Structure 1
Amino acid sequence: MSLLSLSKEDLEMLDGSHGKAAQQAMRIIVRMAHIQQATELVDISHVHIGGSIYTGKGSLNVIEELVSNGAQVRVPTTVNSISIDRSQRGVWNSGNEFDTNAGRLATALEAMGANPIFSCTPYVFPKTPQFGQNVLWAESNAIVYANSVIGARTNRHGDFMDVCAALTGRVPKSGLHLSENRRGTLLVHVPDVAGADPSFYTVLGYLIGKHAAADIPVIEGIRQKPSLEELKSLCATLATSGAVGMFHMVDVTPEAPTLEAALGNVEPQRRFDVTKDQLRQVWNELSSASSTTLSMVAMGSPHATLGDLAELRALVSGKKKHPRVEFLITTSRFVRDRAQELGIVKDLEEFGVRISTDTCLCMFNSSRVPSDATGIMTNSGKFAHYGPGLISRGIYFGAAKDCVDSAIAGKPVISEPGWLRS
């Protein structure tokens, strides 16, 4: 067991001077510090709680017990997507036990003082963490984004560690909180492509994640700085197909102004040269469906950004979806409200889009999808990966334009992207 140095306030929380909930949380933090062989705890500036998904009464009971013991967050804390859309009664909230308990879990987190943004993209909200700050962010894509794009510092943790960190403001100083553990170890060379879009970064992330294992990838060869939406797509699939918690992109991410800086001025442990044939293979394998008709298009995992909705608006302008096809997008209320102010929501609804907030596609299960739904399509690599297991049927994957074209035709219409042909 490591020799752990605790501050006066840490010890006060442990002896119950700050209340029973803080004491329970600090005991878990200290236990985890010993497991991780940390010698000290570190202050954090922000928490994003990922344990907001209702997975059974155990997950609810723990949080409600903490609330009954006086739990209150000590640092700014936001809440990830939840299992229901609380803004739409009768659409997602059937009144059954699952929905009721999922709502109770969200309410309990609010009672602790957490900000109910109910989103898996906390980095699009105001007051995000700053470069170099220690945080505890849960939700796999947000973890990768925080470490890589923002340059904040967080590890990948299991559920309830996020809540314990929020109640104590402390985490073990280990893993990616330590500078020596943040250097890249896997050098990834990407071929030059023309017309890269979010689908390219989705496929690239999925491919690298499968090869990265526990390594930190350093990506070189990207000629044009990716947009927020493209980086979101990359972060999501890096953390879906692999256990990646951080990457560097040379001359793009803040800790990689040069290749040498990203690698910590040492040789990489491994090298991986991406080929277009490998990218094409991933593009094809992300589609697991075989239906010749289409019942649903589902987008927004991770949550759609304002840029995503603006891109979709341009694609659907003056068009109408097939009456048989449901077109669903999940996003946060924050993004939806901004899109509404700009008239984007109205234009999307005229095409036939339904926007759902609070929840996310990865909270789907078979009961959330019509039993007669055959073909389902997405532009989300994350949902293409998890969806078949969640909803017990195959899913088609394509770019945003493919999703729109398919929704209009009422059948899968997928074209090999230009970046594969260039």
Structure 2
Amino acid sequence: MKLEPIDRALLAGEHGAAAARAMALLVRYGTACGAERFIAIESAHIDGCLYHGPSSIDFAQRFVDLGGKVRVPTTLNVAAVDVTHPGWHCGPPEVIAQQETLTRLHEQLGCLPTLTCAPYQRMARPRRGEHVAWAESNAIVFINSVLGARTDRYGDFTDLCAALTGRVPLAGLHCDEARWPAVVFDLPSIDVAGLPRDLYFAAVGYVVGRRAPGIVPYLRGLPLDANEDELKALGATGASSGALALFHAEGVTPEAADMPTGGVKAEAISPAETAAAIASLCRAAKGERVAAVCLGTPHYSIDEFAKLARTVEARHRSPETEVYVSTSREIAAAVAEDAAFDALRAFGVHIVVDTCTYLAPVVRQTSGLILTTSGKYAHYGPGNLGRRVALMTLERCIRSAETGVVAAPC
């Protein structure tokens, strides 16, 4: 690899032993990627702050011992548990202390304890064309697609090395040619698909991920008024079903107009496929008992909380069904301080911070379905939690929470 003066200085320890160690690891990583040189990044988002075992702590501790500090603004992804509500945790109790240790180590390295999978909702957002090193699948696909910034797929440990050096190999989705579409999908409209709007984007994301695993698709026919929460849902579901890291949507996403599509194979996604996607993620029968409704995968935005407040207004939750919403600390604080969200408190909504309920077990009832509006949750929840999960519209989720059993579709 061609190393610039800053790369050689980092390797030589001129910026500290921790940066030298991180750079040495990145050189090996870049060589494996076939990169010819390094580039600078403007920010990083760390997924390795989620406790998976002793190696998580060992890795961060080593850089703390070496006196490391991040060289670019760096945010933290979700943790394994909501440490502010330890009484809600239904998993191994020792994880709370282990997660607190891991978070503290990252803070010592200079990371901001945002503990959210959606830092793009409230924090400073990468600009179009800006190179960053972000981990967490939904964050990667959102900033690549919706914001037009550039990050490759960074995972645990590589993300922290990038933050400690401010450098990454010029590889993957940092490169122009890697961002060009490999397939064009013609989508059915919402009306033709015959799906409620809040299921349509999850369905499209699920099918696109399955049909174009790990490649860049160009989408034609997505509603031109698609908002960020809907694009977030599409990307997160596609990242779950097929490692989607970037999509272009004609007339919607910022790079779409610049993408070469001539000669790219075009395929149609049929209404039958989107309907089948929803059916596969919603294996529930009317009248089945509902243990909980879990929302906020990815983390809920202020707009989503406003929609939820309107939906639960003047309604009453069954005591047999819990309702949990995952979000960031910042958005949770804003909701807590605003009387406009009093309907949520009246309905008995629990707001989970720092984690996500498809990772951290909080549902106390050990039997019954978990309902969600998230395609990502419906995809991962059964494997992560060992529970049956069903994807539904928000309205149907809340009607089910009122009675404690699965409501009929509208």
* TM-score, normalization by structure 1: 0.92
1:267-318 Cα shifts (integer Å, max 9, x gaps): 11x3321111111111110024568111111111100111111110110000
Question: Is the CA contact (8 Å cut-off) linking 2:236 and 2:376 kept in structure 1?
Answer: yes
Q: Secondary structure at the match of 1:295?
A: strand
The alpha-carbon deviation at position 126 of structure 1 amounts to 2.9
Which range is displaced more, 240-249 or 86-95? Answer: 86-95
Mapping for residues 212-361 of structure 1, pairs under 5 Å: 212-257=212-257, 261-262=258-259, 264-268=260-264, 270-288=265-283, 292-361=288-357
Closer, same or farther in 2 for the Cα pair 1:265/1:319, shift >3 Å? closer
Q: Is the 8 A contact 1:369 1:391 kept in 2?
A: no
Whether the 8 Å CA contact 2:81–2:360 is kept in 1: the answer is no
Q: d(CA) in 2 for partners of 1:26 and 1:200?
A: 43
User: Would the alpha carbon gap of residues 340 and 219 (structure 1) be closer, same or farther in structure 2, given more than 3 Å must change?
Assistant: same
Q: Distance in 1 between matches of 2:34 and 2:386?
A: 41
How many equivalent residue pairs? Answer: 406
| 1:79 matches 2:76 | yes
Kindly state the Cα deviation for residue 95 of structure 1 after the two structures are TM-superposed: 8.8
Q: Which residue is equivalent to 1:420? A: none
Higher mean alpha-carbon deviation, 222-231 vs 72-81, is at 222-231
SS at match of 2:256: coil
State how far apart, in whole Å, the 2-side matches of 1:137 and 1:168 are: 14
Pairwise CA distance, 1:94: 8.3
**Residue 379 of structure 1 contacts residue 400 of structure 1 at CA under 8 Å; is this kept in 2?**
yes
Which ranges of structure 2 fall in alignment gaps of 5 or more residues?
none
In structure 1, the residue matched to 2:31 is: 34
* Structure 1 match to 2:8: 11
Residue 375 of structure 2 corresponds to which residue in structure 1? 381
Q: Which residue of 351, 358, 362 maps to 1:362?
A: 358
| SS of residue paired to 1:224 | coil
How much does 1:8 deviate?
1.6
2:275 aligned partner, one-letter code: R
The structure 2 residue matched to 1:120, chosen from 117, 122, 132, is 117
Distance in 1 (alpha carbons) for counterparts of 2:90 and 2:75: 22
RMSD: 1.7
Question: In the aligned structure 2, how far is the partner of 1:355 from the partner of 1:50?
Answer: 22
Q: Distance in 2 between matches of 1:200 and 1:187?
A: 18
Letter in 2 for 1:395: V
Residues 372-381 or 168-177, more deviating: 372-381
2:50 and 2:343 map into 1 onto residues whose CA distance is 31
* In the alignment, structure 1 residue 404 sits paired with structure 2 residue 401: no
Distance 2:284 2:134 in 1: 33
Name the SS for the 2:219 alignment partner.
Answer: strand
1:144–1:235 Cα contact (<8 Å) kept? yes
Please state whether the residue corresponding to 1:362 is helix, strand or coil: coil
**SS across alignment from 2:190:** coil
Deviations 1:114-134 (A, max 9, x none): 111110001112311100000
1:289 and 1:54 mapped to 2: Cα distance? 32
Structure 1 residues 400-419: Cα deviation after superposition (integer angstroms, max 9, x where no partner): 11110110011112416xxx
Name which of 171, 175, 181 aligns with 2:178: 181
For 1:377 and 1:146, locate their aligned partners in 2 and report how far apart those are by CA, in whole Å: 28
- Between 385-394 and 287-296, the greater mean CA deviation after superposition: 287-296
Q: Which amino acid aligns with 2:250?
A: V
Deviations 1:145-175 (CA, angstroms, capped at 9, x unpaired):
1111111111112211110000000000011
Cα distance, 1:214 vs structure 2: 2.7
* 2-structure distance, mates of 1:358, 1:18: 32
Percent identity over the alignment is 34
TM-score of the pair, normalised by structure 2: 0.95
C-alpha change, 1:73 and 1:387, in structure 2 (3 Å) is same
**Where do 1:49-128 residues align within 5 Å?**
49-92=46-89, 96-128=93-125
Letter in 1 for 2:219: I
Q: Alpha carbons of 1:371 and 1:413: their partners in 2 closer, same or farther (altered >3 Å)?
A: closer
Aligned in 2, Cα 1:280/1:363: closer, same or farther, shift over 3 Å?
Answer: same
Contact 1:398 1:414 in 2 (8 A): no
Amino acid in structure 1 at the alignment position of 2:237:
T
SS of equivalent residue, structure 1 residue 361:
coil
SS at match of 2:75: strand
Distance (Å, rounded) in 1 between the aligned partners of 2:138 and 2:374: 12
- Output the CA distance in 2 between the equivalents of 1:115 and 1:288: 40
- AA aligned to 1:33 is G
Report the counterpart of residue 200 of structure 2 in structure 1. 200
